[in-house]
């Protein structure tokens, strides 16, 4: 928090081998150092190029082009830790790894299910859409282990009348699911709906849609009918009465939206969670028509655009083919490292140059101590950043900090003022223009930094006039339009104030899977067998943070002040374990025989299901194993870490 508050970084800095401090370096010398180190590697796969999700389309496109021309697909990104499970599940079942709804759909939806998401803190603008949905007669079901106050009740900040009334009750039905109890819960709801469908002669499911547009319906139904309903209730932690109430609310609705975020993606079964959400929507014919669909609510402002631009360690072959054809080189086909693989590769010294386009790799990734060792093993670590963070302090033998313009900064190049573009959660591409004069005249834009690295490293390899591309970003957009479908006429359409929509098959009921149909799926679920002294821990965001940037120590919606090293715990669990509120405890996780500890957390009694506890990200990341990840998406299991609580006599009680 302290270094984050030091303000912006004003000039490029280098930390030489065995030196004690970072010192200024010229841009030219910095790019030469990067080129020297990259040229020394035996194989381009020994370098890793991370991206956080704020990078513009223009910078991201040039960056992946540079990295692939250098010779690797080692392009892990924050998506690997975020919505990868959504992308994988949606691609498999619907044919595109993106959500299908537009903002308008919220206004006409009959039912919105918000699962594993805390929009009050993390997506406040979405609350206005939910409020409008309710004003138009829609209902809201919330599925979450925590009764997040911002979602239960919404006070519009600009509406004094509503503030006086105490806001709008948003949630109509709250299902306080156990941590990772979503698969059994969704299965229980679908089981009840299936019974109602049979009893009503097929009035509940959209059988016409199912017959015309989907496959594997029979398999799903056969699977649901075999499941033991009571076991599903027990594993979800939701009573029969509430499951039936949820099913009743879904029963006669035709326009349903499901929104979700990290509460469902960051589990070993993260991909299953989302396929189960798709099952429910497909049964109701609720994808591909107004007021209905899938809505994975994204994190960083351009995390989706970065993927569209090719920031992906596992790029599809047709993308690589188009890239190779357009730029007349052979793009590497071997898939690269995702975040979890990248950490291991550095730890095992299989990679020794690490370059980060934004983000805070050290603090955002799981297994902080292990990741730290990996970064320290590198010969060179490079951070392209706006502000200082811990990744600048835990570094390779040599390290660079390259300061870049942020999205709010004016970007003036040889060809005049430039703007960049980004893609939002709903697939709209629009322009983004900074207006604030940069804090020093030494900052470069992200595209200019990529061009600087590319010129030094690739020399003439791609035969591109990098300076001309940086002088006028329209020229970068011309290249994007040549490679990426949906970007025709990019420079004209991006100048419209509302931007433009990218093509999205499922939105219009066209499923772009190999069969041309949407796929139901049969998903196993994990029956948690926790010992008496084990808890399932979620790591969540407070109100005063943006990921690893901590603005303050308060989490006001949850009523927690001046402290972040807290563990939220069920009051009955506290007394059953012989603990006290406010007691200071240590947390221990053990995976594959390795013990990980996080010391000195204060117990806070909280309305959370038994056997579940909550801590804040990134303080608890030391406990998250790097080598246990979601099947199919490799996402770290940041929302289901098994931990034990240890007491330690040396820990003293805080005074307030």
Binding site for Mo ion (CB under 5 A): 82, 299
Tell me the two tokens of residue 381. Answer: 């670590």
Residue among 323, 325, 390 nearest 75 (CA)? 323
DSSP per residue, 492-547 = HHTTSTT-EEPP-TGGGT---STTSSEE------------TTEEEEEEE--TTEET
115-134: which residues touch ligand MGD (CB under 6 A)? 115-118, 121-123
Please identify, using beta-carbon distances, which residue of 61 and 617 lies nearer to Mo ion. Answer: 617
Helix (H, G, I), strand (E, B) or coil at 293: strand
Comparison of 50 and 319: residue with beta carbon closer to ligand MGD = 50
If binding is defined by CB under 6 A, does position 351 make contact with ligand MGD?
no
CB of 303 to Mo ion, least distance (A): 7
Burial class (CB within 10 angstroms; exposed 0-12, middle 13-18, buried 19+) of 328: exposed
Q: Tell me the site size for ligand MGD, rule CB under 6 A.
A: 58
Residue whose CB is less far from Mo ion, 364 or 518: 364
Q: How far apart are the first and last CA of the chain?
A: 22
The answer to the question of residue 539 lying near ligand MGD (CB under 6 A) is yes
Answer yes or no whether residue 385 interacts with ligand MGD by CB under 6 A. yes
DSSP codes of every residue in 107-160: HH-SEEEEES--HHHH-HHHHHHHHHHHHTT-EEEEE-SS--HHHHEE--TT-H
Residue 52 interacts with which of Mo ion, ligand MGD, none, CB < 5 to 8 Å by class? ligand MGD
Which listed option, Mo ion, ligand MGD, none, makes contact with residue 545 (CB within 5 to 8 Å by class)?
Answer: ligand MGD
The Cα–Cα gap between 453 and 449 comes to 6
Other residues' Cβ atoms within 10 Å of the Cβ of residue 529: 6
Which of 346, 617, 629, 634 is close enough to bind ligand MGD by CB under 6 A?
617
Fill in the per-residue mask, 174 to 213: x = in contact with ligand MGD (CB under 6 A), - = not in contact. ---x-xx-x-------------------------------
* CA distance to 163, 246, 250, 259, 534, per residue, from 137 (Å): 21, 17, 14, 18, 43
Ranges within 627-656 binding ligand MGD (CB under 6 A)? 638-639
Residue 621 contact among Mo ion, ligand MGD, none, beta carbon within 5 to 8 Å by kind: ligand MGD
* Interface with ligand MGD (CB under 6 A), residue from 37, 57, 144, 377: 144
Nearer to ligand MGD, 30 or 331 (CB): 30
**Bridge partners of residue 382, in order along the sequence:** 355, 400
Give the three-state DSSP class for 568.
strand
Least distance to ligand MGD, CB of residue 80, Å: 9
Strand segments (E) across 376-474: 380-385, 398-403, 412-413, 416-417, 420-423, 428-432
Nearer to Mo ion, 82 or 220 (CB): 82
Across-strand partners of 50?
356
Stretch that binds ligand MGD, among 93-101, 233-241, 262-270, 579-587 (CB under 6 A): 262-270
Say which residue the tokens 């910078």 belong to. 59
* Positions in 284-323 near ligand MGD (CB under 6 A): 299-300
As measured in angstroms, the least distance from the Cβ of 639 to Mo ion is: 12
Return the residue matching tokens 């500890």. 597
Rounded Cα gap, residues 394 and 387, in angstroms: 15
Q: Between residues 82 and 94, which has the closer beta carbon with respect to Mo ion?
A: 82
Q: Does 404 bind ligand MGD (CB under 6 A)?
A: yes
> Which positions touch ligand MGD (CB under 6 A)?
52-54, 78, 81-82, 115-118, 121-123, 143-146, 148, 177, 179-180, 182, 261-264, 266, 299-300, 357-361, 364, 384-387, 389, 404, 406-407, 446, 538-541, 545-549, 617, 621, 624, 638-639
């Amino acid at each position: 928090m302290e270094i984050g508050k030091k303000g912006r970084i004003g000039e490029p800095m280098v930390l030489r081998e065995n030196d004690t401090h970072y010192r200024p370096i010229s841009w030219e010398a910095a790019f030469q150092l990067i080129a020297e180190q990259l040229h020394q590697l035996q194989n381009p796969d020994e370098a890793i190029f991370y991206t956080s999700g704020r990078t513009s389309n223009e910078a991201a496109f040039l960056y992946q082009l540079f990295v692939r021309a250098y010779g690797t697909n080692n392009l892990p990104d924050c998506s690997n830790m975020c919505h990868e499970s959504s992308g994988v599940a949606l691609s498999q079942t619907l044919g595109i790894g993106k959500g299908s709804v537009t903002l308008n759909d919220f206004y006409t939806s009959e039912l919105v299910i918000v699962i594993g998401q805390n929009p009050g803190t993390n997506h406040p603008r979405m609350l206005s859409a939910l409020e409008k949905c309710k004003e138009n007669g829609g209902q809201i079901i919330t599925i979450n282990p925590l009764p997040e106050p911002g979602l239960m009740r919404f006070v519009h900040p600009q509406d004094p009348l509503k503030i006086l009334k105490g806001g709008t009750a948003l949630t109509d039905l709250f299902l306080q699911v156990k941590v990772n109890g979503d698969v059994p819960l969704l299965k229980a709801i679908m089981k009840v709906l299936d019974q109602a469908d049979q009893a009503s002669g097929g009035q509940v499911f959209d059988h016409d849609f199912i017959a015309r547009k989907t496959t594997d319906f029979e398999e799903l139904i056969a699977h649901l009918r075999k499941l033991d309903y009571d076991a599903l209730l027990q594993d979800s932690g939701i009573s029969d009465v509430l499951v039936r109430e949820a099913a009743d609310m879904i029963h006669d609705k035709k326009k349903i939206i499901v929104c979700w975020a990290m509460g469902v993606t960051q589990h070993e079964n993260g991909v299953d969670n989302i396929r189960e959400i798709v099952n429910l929507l497909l049964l109701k014919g609720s994808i591909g028509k107004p007021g209905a669909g899938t809505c994975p609510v994204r994190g960083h402002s351009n995390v989706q655009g970065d993927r569209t631009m090719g920031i992906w360690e596992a790029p599809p072959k047709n993308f690589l083919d188009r890239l190779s054809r357009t730029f007349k080189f052979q793009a590497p086909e071997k898939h690269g490292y995702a975040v979890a693989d990248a950490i291991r590769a550095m730890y095992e010294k299989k990679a020794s140059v690490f370059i980060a386009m934004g983000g805070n790799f050290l603090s955002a990734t799981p297994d902080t101590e292990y990741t730290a060792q990996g970064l320290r093993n590198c010969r060179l670590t490079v951070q392209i950043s706006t502000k200082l963070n811990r990744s600048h302090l835990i570094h390779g033998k040599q390290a660079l900090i390259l300061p870049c313009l942020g999205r709010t900064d004016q970007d003036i190049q040889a060809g005049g003022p430039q703007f960049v573009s980004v893609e939002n959660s709903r697939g709209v591409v629009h322009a983004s223009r900074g207006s604030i004069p940069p804090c020093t005249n030494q900052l470069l834009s992200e595209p200019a930094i990529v061009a600087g690295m590319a010129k030094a490293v690739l020399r003439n390899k791609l035969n591109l006039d990098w300076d001309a591309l940086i002088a006028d970003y329209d020229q970068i957009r011309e290249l994007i339009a040549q490679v990426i479908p949906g970007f025709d006429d990019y420079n004209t359409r991006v100048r419209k104030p509302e931007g433009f929509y990218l093509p999205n098959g499922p939105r219009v009921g066209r499923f772009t899977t190999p069969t041309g149909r949407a796929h139901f799926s049969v998903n196993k679920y994990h029956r948690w067998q926790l010992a008496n002294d084990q808890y399932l821990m979620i790591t969540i965001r407070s109100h005063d943070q943006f990921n690893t940037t901590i603005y303050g120590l308060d989490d006001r919606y949850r009523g927690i002040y001046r402290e972040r090293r807290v563990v939220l715990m069920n009051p009955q669990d506290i007394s059953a374990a012989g603990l006290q509120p406010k007691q200071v405890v240590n947390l221990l996780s053990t995976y594959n025989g390795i013990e990980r500890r996080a010391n000195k957390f204060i117990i806070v009694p909280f309305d959370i299901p038994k056997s579940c506890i909550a801590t804040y990200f990134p303080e608890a990341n030391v406990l998250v194993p790097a080598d246990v990840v979601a099947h199919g998406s490799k996402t770290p299991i940041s929302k289901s870490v098994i931990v034990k609580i240890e007491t330690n006599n040396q820990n003293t009680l805080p005074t307030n």
